[in-house]
Amino acid sequence: MHRSERISKAFILFAKGFDGNLACNGTEQIPMRKSGVRSLPHSRSLPHLSLRIDFDREERIGPGKIQLLEHIRDFGSISAAGRAMDMSYKRAWDLVEEINRICGHVAVARQTGGRNGGGAMLTPFGTSLVARYRKIERDAARAVRKELQALKTDIVRRRKA
């Protein structure tokens, strides 16, 4: 079975929001506190969809790894991306290596030396990975929007009762 077939058969969707464990909804970046939890307003916002793609039991790519790649793209540095996510350079680099291993392609190219001491940038594959993940996330969120609205209505109704 090709890896792409495993992706389509194995991605897992789960709605989050009321418990405060949301990482992002595909279009809006929601910063997370150090504890990894962010409280969301309950009044008008829908629960959001968070997406994790499981390749097998141990290999997965989700909102955290994608956000790390986006920060690397934006900051041009693995260490700055790690700091933005409140993680060490070693943890950020370990995650980048894990992404590379899972995908079988290099997602981040390190740039050594130079006047500013080097940095990092996404490879064309890394850019494509982020774009594809965000598109899958948007499409999935669009597909379940009515169900998320119904879920919110049910939960709000139960809280008032």
Q: What is the pLDDT of residues 46-73, one digit of tens each?
A: 778 889 999 988 899 999 999 999 999 9
Identify whether the C-beta of residue 4 lies closer than 8 Å to the C-beta of residue 10: no
Would you state the pLDDT for residue 109? 93
Whether 102 shows a pLDDT value over 90: the answer reads yes
Would you state the pLDDT for residue 143? 93
Higher model confidence: residue 149 or residue 4?
Answer: 149
Would you state the pLDDT for residue 56? 86
Q: pLDDT tens-digit profile of 123-150?
A: 999 999 999 999 999 999 999 999 989 9
Identify whether the C-beta of residue 111 lies closer than 8 Å to the C-beta of residue 120: yes
Rounded to whole angstroms, the Cα distance separating 141 from 135 reads 10
Higher model confidence: residue 60 or residue 17?
Answer: 60
Identify whether the C-beta of residue 81 lies closer than 8 Å to the C-beta of residue 65: no
Higher model confidence: residue 31 or residue 62?
Answer: 62
Answer yes or no: pTM beyond 0.85.
no
Would you state the pLDDT for residue 66? 97
